[in-house]
Structure formats: structure tokens, C-alpha cells
Structure 1
Amino acid sequence: MTETFVIARPQELRTEMVRVWESVKALVDGEQEAVQLSVKKMSKRSAEANSLMWVRLHELAEQTDWHGIKLSPEEFKDLLSAGLAKSKVVPNIDGTGFVIIGQRTSKFSVKQMNELIELIHAFGAERGVRFSADPRLIGRKAA
């Protein structure tokens, strides 16, 4: 049996470590031959975080606008990730607008992705967006 525990934010440390302890204790109590525990720093965002980001961006797009303009989830991603990363903005080649240069959320670190998700939550909360339950919490026991 293999379990993976991801601690993405400092405030999750205690809760996740309790879950790790409970899981390891169950294995030891079950008289397994050996238990191996590995800890590694994740440098790339997880698929779980990516999924949560898109759920939240769709909720934003459905429930709010930006200065009276309805934006798609992709456009909200561009807007919010550019604000987070302080991206470079240049005039469009035909001079009718602007383009955000060099912003790729696929290259975000775990920390950057968590900051983006927190920014999405704050941005939505300021505009009265009602977010669904955090899908990462479904099925977890309360600690």
C-alpha cells in the first residue's frame, strides 16, 4: 500500500502530519514487515492543485465580471496570474490592445500555484462569488 500526502501550505502541516501518523501507525499495528517513509520537496504544482485552479476559475467566470466585461475562465487565469507574477504587458501587433508576455502557469512552482489559488479566492470573495466545497477536502477525516 502506498499513500501520498501533500502539504502545500504551512497551515496544513499539523493536519497532514496527523494523517501521516495515523496511516503509519495503522501499518505498524497491522504487523507489516517494514514501513518506509520518504519526504521530498515538490518543485512543480500538482494535478490536484491544477484541477482546483480550474474549478475556481470556472466559478469566477460564471458568477462575476471584470469592470462590466464577462471573462472566460482562461481570461481570468491570464488576468490573475499576470497580477501575481507582475508580468510584462506590451501593445498588440495591430495596436488595438495589449498582450501579457511570458506568463505560463504550467511552469508555476507549488508555492506560486498556492498563491494563485489564494488570489482567486480573495478576488472572488471581494466580488461575492460563492465557491463550492474544496474538492481536496472531500473524503478526508477531520483532525
Structure 2
Amino acid sequence: MKTKFLCSIPVLPSQDIVRDLEWYAQTLGFVKTFGDHSYAGMRLEEVEVHLQRYSATGASQHVNGSVVKIFVKNIEPFFEALVIKGVVNCDHMNKNTAWGTHEFRLTDLNKNAIFIVEDIESSAEKTS
């Protein structure tokens, strides 16, 4: 079965998640869907955006780039193809994360982090 690409979710850096969620709500009409002071998601109709806390003065893995999450159904074939190409190592897949996903990460030439993510519920549907 082939990997099906479902959507992409940008993850934007934030110095203050609570402040920024309030700004997005009041200014643009976004509604918080999940999260805490370090990572949160919000939605406006069909558009989803995530915020990730970073410190402007501390070390942050995303200082030099942004993050995008690309959601898929049936993650394995795409992951295996990238392993064969040498883009990712075979041990880079994180299965059954605490937040309910199977996912792996790679970095583009500009140090932007790209996460390929499959919801575990989506994964379970394909085996039922």
C-alpha cells in the first residue's frame, strides 16, 4: 500500500505560548485545540498551526530554521524509501509516541525540520 499525504502543519516559534495563542484568537479568530506552555495547536476552519516555545537567549534546535509537520496515512513505505535513498537512518522512526503518532524527522539544506507524521488512529484504521 502506498503512502497517502494528508496535510501539512506549520510549527512556528513562540517566546510565549499563552500570549501568542491569545493574539491568534483575538486577531485572526484561531481557537486553541490542544497544548500547554511549551507546545500548542490552534485551528481556524480547516487551517491548523502549531506553536513551539523557544528561548531567544537559550539554545534551541529550531533557531536556524522552521518546522513543518506533514501528516500521512501509511507512513512505512515512504520511510523505507528514504532509508534506501540514505536520507534517514532505519532507527529514526519513532513509533507509538506519547502524543499518539508514528513519526520521523529529517532536516533540509536550510536546517528546517521536517516531520513526517501518522496518527496512530489512522494507522489502526488501515489494519482493521
TM-score (norm 1): 0.23
Larger radius of gyration between Structure 1 and Structure 2: 1
Write 1 or 2 for the structure with the bigger share of helix.
1
Higher relative contact order (CA 8 A, sep 6+): 1
Write 1 or 2 for the structure with the bigger share of strand.
2
